[in-house]
Structure 1
Amino acid sequence: MGNINPSLLHVGSTLGAVFMALMVIFIRLKASARPVTLRKIWIPPLGMSTGFAMFVVPEVRFPWWWAVTAFLIGWFIFAYPLMRSTVFEERDGLIYAQRSKSFAFILLGLLLIRTVLHEFINRYVSIPQSGGLFFILAFGMILHWRVYMYKRYTRMALPKAPIPQPRG
């Protein structure tokens, strides 16, 4: 991996994760003042999907079943708290995400779990591989959360069909 000290890389990745978590909290708090749109739901996972380009580098690669396992853990376990903290409300004919007091704590808790798991996983895989694994885990988490948001949003946004009245 060149001349980069692995411990500096680990500290840098942890600080980067903390910075990203704080940015997500800040952005999420500001976003609750604006209406939700389909575009706002799908841009984060689409933008994040460009991160799969990291797997072009051979040092980041690992077996497929590791990737599937990481994705499923993100999808089924880590997405759940985010889904539980996401509530939509309708105001003036527009749909807004309610501010959740627990969202920041959930995100920081997920970061703490990630850091602890990172320490454990780094004993068995390289730092670039663990970065790739956690990326896939985060992608599974965010994708499931956004699919959930999309379903909730479309349920609220679709015009309500009138209830047919019996004839006669």
Structure 2
Amino acid sequence: MIAETVSKPTRPRLNPYTKALRRERIFSRRRLGWPYSEIAREEGLSQERVRQIVIEALERQGIDRPADHAMLQMVRLEKAHEVAAEALAAGDLSAIAPYLGVLERLDRYAQIGAAKQAPAYDDAARERLLAKLNRVAARIDAQDARKAAKLAAATTQEAPPGAADLDSGSSL
């Protein structure tokens, strides 16, 4: 058979569920400190495709604030920090440079995360929250007033005429 006529087996197309599973595996491995090359080999993809998947997922999830990115990078660097610290503790002097590099990056991301923290509520958000609470309180007050009016109407209809005279004046 001629090599030109033999087609390569195609990979099955992934549905949304299997794409989500693959994305979760990729992010899990990134959090554990795996390099793109290892993830690509495990998933049967190119390094560039793995990078594209990560970038697309981050854009879709809205993790584009510097503080969020810094937090993601700090989590990813934890394993590298642990490995370098263990190597130093074992007396491996060649681990000094990687250890210092990881510490420098952790410090940089910690500064970004601390400096870029957005306030939980700005003045506009506080005003919106207060307005919403006022609307809810007004709605509850209106419901209570309607219930009270219904109760008053029901009690006046149930009382026999002259019952008010018996209650107010005669004590036997």
Into which bin does the TM-score normalised by the smaller protein fall?
Answer: under 0.3
Structure showing the higher strand proportion among its residues: 1
Higher RCO, 1 vs 2 (CA within 8 Å, ≥6 residues apart)? 1
TM-score (norm 1): 0.26
TM-score (norm 2): 0.26
